[in-house]
């Protein structure tokens, strides 16, 4: 039993990487749910996107030996960059109008 555990620990396989991805995902969700600063929430979303990417790359390394996972990860990185640019422009607009980026204060639907 212990030997099996040590054997399992000493050979990082697909499960190890998927576990790292799951932990990163949960930490990202925690950041999104607990923080009240819009920029911190954006950082949480970046963590979630990274965990997804890690899963794609891990599967394309261990399960399917093709490069499709790599390409999906590449497109996801591009999407994350576009999302960050637009989101930060929106955050700057919010700051200019409300003078705060605390999401509890930003409660108007019609500015």
Partner 1 sequence: MELTTLLFYFFSLLTIGSAIFMVFSKNIVHAAFALMFTLLGVAALYVLLFADFIAATQILVYVGGILILILFGVMLTTKGFTDNLKTLTTNLRPVSVVMTLVAAGMIYVLLTTTWPVAEIAEPEGTITGLGTLLLKEYILPFQVTGVLLLVAIIGALLMATKVKHQQ
C-alpha pair distances (Å), 68 with each of 44, 60, 71, 79: 26, 7, 5, 17
Among residues 2, 3, 5, 33, the one that binds partner 1 under rule CB under 8 A: 33
The reply on whether position 16 binds partner 1 by CB under 8 A is yes
When binding is defined by CB under 8 A, the residue of 40, 52, 109, 110 that contacts partner 1 is 40
Site for partner 1 in 87-106 (CB under 8 A): 88-93, 95-96, 99, 101-102
Residue with smaller CB distance to partner 1, 70 or 109? 70
Alpha-carbon distance values, 55 to 31, 36, 41, 69, 90 (Å)? 20, 28, 22, 9, 30
52 forms part of the interface with partner 1 (CB under 8 A): no
């Amino acid at each position: 039993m212990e030997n099996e555990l040590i054997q399992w620990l000493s050979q990082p396989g697909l499960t190890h990487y998927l576990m790292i991805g799951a932990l990163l995902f949960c930490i990202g969700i925690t950041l999104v749910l607990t923080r009240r600063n819009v920029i911190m929430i954006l950082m949480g979303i970046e963590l979630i996107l990274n965990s997804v990417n890690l899963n794609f790359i891990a599967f394309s390394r261990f399960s399917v030996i093709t490069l499709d996972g790599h390409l999906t990860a590449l497109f996801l990185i591009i999407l994350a960059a576009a999302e960050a640019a637009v989101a930060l422009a929106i955050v700057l607009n919010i700051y200019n109008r409300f003078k705060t980026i605390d999401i509890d204060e930003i409660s108007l639907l019609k500015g």
